[in-house]
């Protein structure tokens, strides 16, 4: 019995050291060497300041910016509260919110269908991307606020539109933070 107990203790210590210390350090080291940007959160740095991550959405509300899709993570894009709202399609609170959001957006662009990702949240609540249709819907508002033509702005959006991952996974998308930073760099908005 004593031998079995010592074996169990040594095995626990050895596996804890291997899988709790050595393995994580090796994987972290490989990630830092092979994929340093991704291993450190895909951070976007501007003028020496971290302004966000390519992987986590941010809230933009001013007319001069493309708006992200709604977030249900905490007070919006809170990575410590990442999750969907868990409201089902028959939940009256969800139906009312979506209906109100659609009505507000249709005032901005009467007669146009509102893209689904403009009024629905992602599963994580942290999605940094919008659909090309969502971006296209917002082009006239942003162009007006920035004093740009619609054609000029559509070209900028096209440069930021990414296709399916590896050509087969997901849908085409536009990273909102990168697009807004590019716009700030090339055409500062009117006050």
Per-position pLDDT tens, the chain of length 191: 888 999 999 999 999 999 999 999 999 999 899 988 888 877 888 888 888 888 888 888 899 999 998 887 767 777 777 766 677 888 888 889 889 989 999 988 888 899 988 888 877 778 889 999 999 999 999 999 999 999 999 999 999 999 998 989 989 999 999 999 999 988 555 55
Query: Phi and psi for 129 in degrees, rounded to 5?
Result: -115, 155
Tell me the helix, strand and coil percentages in the chain, rounded to 5: 50, 10, 40
Per the listing, tokens 């009024």 go with: 119
Q: For the chain, which residues make up each domain, given as ranges?
A: 1-40, 48-186
Q: What is the pLDDT of residue 188?
A: 58
């Amino acid at each position: 019995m004593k031998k079995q107990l010592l074996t169990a203790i040594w095995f626990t210590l050895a596996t804890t050291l291997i899988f709790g210390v050595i393995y994580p350090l090796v994987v972290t080291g490989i990630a830092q060497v092979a994929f340093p940007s991704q291993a450190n959160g895909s951070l976007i740095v501007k003028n020496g300041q971290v302004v966000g991550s390519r992987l986590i959405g941010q809230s933009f509300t001013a007319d001069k910016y493309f708006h992200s899709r709604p977030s249900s993570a905490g007070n919006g894009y809170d990575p410590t509260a990442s999750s969907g709202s868990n409201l089902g399609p028959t939940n009256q609170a969800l139906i009312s919110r979506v209906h109100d959001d659609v009505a507000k957006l249709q005032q901005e662009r009467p007669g146009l269908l509102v893209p689904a990702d403009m009024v629905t949240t992602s599963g994580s609540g942290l999605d940094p991307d919008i659909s090309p249709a969502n971006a296209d819907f917002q082009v006239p508002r942003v162009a007006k606020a920035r004093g740009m033509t619609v054609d000029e702005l559509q070209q900028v959006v096209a440069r930021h539109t990414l296709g399916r991952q590896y050509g087969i996974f997901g849908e085409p998308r536009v990273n909102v933070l990168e697009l807004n930073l590019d716009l700030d760099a090339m055409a500062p908005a009117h006050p």
